[in-house]
């Protein structure tokens, strides 16, 4: 990647001031970092962590959500979201499932991860999405909450990866259909 080319925006292009000393002498160091020429601080642009939940009912159908907000409003998704500060991935997937579905996760099992770029309020957030198989005991409390418009269970044969609006979720669904379900 040629970071000197004006046509290519550096991932940190909107960060103009050094987060350590506040000066405007915060410039591209390389394709992953910016450095302050005043205090020497180097900020590396790393992925944010997010979680994705795979929840099956007793019929082997997968719980999917319809997104209520942008990005990809109206498309299918899986329950999940960003990991909060001081939270483990397992805690985050349990919290996100509860917030979005009302369901309480009783156990989690890590499956795989995929990189993603999530457009949030016009800002590209680079993420690594951690996929977990989650078990829940009681689905009677299920309901669409938070940023979910609708929840539904789909049999593997009814799942169309193209209906999922976020690239990493779509790739994850393709992988799931091959190896998990």
Q: Cα dist. 129→73, 125, 172 in Å?
A: 19, 12, 9
Pairing state between β 42-44 and 33-36: antiparallel
74: left (phi over 0), alpha (psi -120 to 50) or beta: left
Pairing state between β 148-154 and 62-67: antiparallel
pLDDT in tens, 132-146: 999 999 999 999 999
pLDDT in tens, 85-105: 999 999 999 999 999 999 999
Q: What is the pLDDT of residue 4?
A: 39
Q: What is the pLDDT of residue 9?
A: 64
Mean pLDDT for the chain overall: 92
Measured distance CA(41)–CA(22) in Å, rounded: 11
Quick one: tokens of 110?
């890590």
| pLDDT for residue 5 is more than 80 | no
DSSP secondary structure letter of residue 177:
H
Burial class from Cβ neighbours inside 10 Å (0-12, 13-18, 19+) for residue 50 reads buried
Quick one: tokens of 49?
């962590």
| pLDDT for residue 126 is more than 70 | yes
- Domains of the chain plus CATH, in order, are 10-45 (no CATH), 48-179 (3.90.79.10)
pTM of the model: 0.88
Measured distance CA(143)–CA(152) in Å, rounded: 10
pLDDT in tens, 11-54: 788 889 999 999 999 999 998 899 999 999 999 989 999 999 99
DSSP string, 95-146: HHHHHHH-PPEEEEEEEEEEEEEEEETTEEEEEEEEEEEEEES-GGG----T
């Amino acid at each position: 990647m040629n970071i000197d080319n004006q046509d290519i925006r550096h991932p940190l292009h909107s960060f103009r001031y050094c987060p350590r000393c506040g000066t405007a002498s915060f410039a591209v160091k390389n394709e992953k970092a910016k450095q302050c020429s005043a205090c020497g601080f180097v900020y590396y642009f790393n992925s944010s962590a997010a979680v994705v939940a795979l929840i099956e009912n007793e019929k082997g159908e997968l719980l999917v959500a319809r997104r209520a907000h942008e990005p990809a409003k109206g498309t299918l998704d899986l329950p999940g979201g960003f990991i909060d500060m001081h939270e483990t991935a397992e805690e985050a997937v349990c919290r996100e499932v509860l917030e979005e579905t009302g369901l309480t996760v009783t156990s989690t099992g890590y499956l795989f991860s995929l990189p993603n770029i999530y457009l949030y309020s016009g800002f590209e957030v680079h993420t690594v999405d951690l996929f977990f198989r989650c078990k829940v005991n009681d689905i009677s409390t299920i309901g669409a909450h938070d940023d979910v418009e609708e929840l539904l269970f789909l049999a593997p044969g009814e799942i169309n990866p193209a209906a999922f609006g976020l690239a990493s979720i779509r790739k994850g669904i393709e992988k799931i259909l091959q190896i998990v379900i």
